[in-house]
Copies of this chain bind each other. A is one copy, B any other.
Amino acid sequence: MKVKIHVTLKQGILDPQGKAIEHALDSLGFKNTANMRVGKYMEVDVNEPDRAKADAQVKAMCEKLLANTVIEDYRYELQ
């Protein structure tokens, strides 16, 4: 099954990358953009027919490796 995972910075955590991109957009003439936040998006196939098990596995993958839960949140969808 295909899994889509979003990993984003927690609220209040500085996002230097977002800041720099926002600045660049501004100097490109896109003056009306604000609060740019950059995260990761992952797609992966998980070969696990049991949905509940797949769910538990993806959660474990996020907690253990894909997200840095000290500063990042994650969410995912199974398809």
Contacts and interface: CB of A to CB of B under 8 A. Distances in A.
Contact of A40 (B39, B47, B65, B66): B39
Interface string A10-32: 00000000100110110010101
Interface of A: 6-8, 18, 21-22, 24-25, 28, 30, 32-48, 57, 60-61, 64-66
Q: How many copies make up the complex?
A: 2
Nearest to A39: B41
B44 A41 contact: no
B30 A35 contact: no
Contacts of A48: 32
Given A25-B61, A30-B61, A65-B25, A42 B47 contact: no
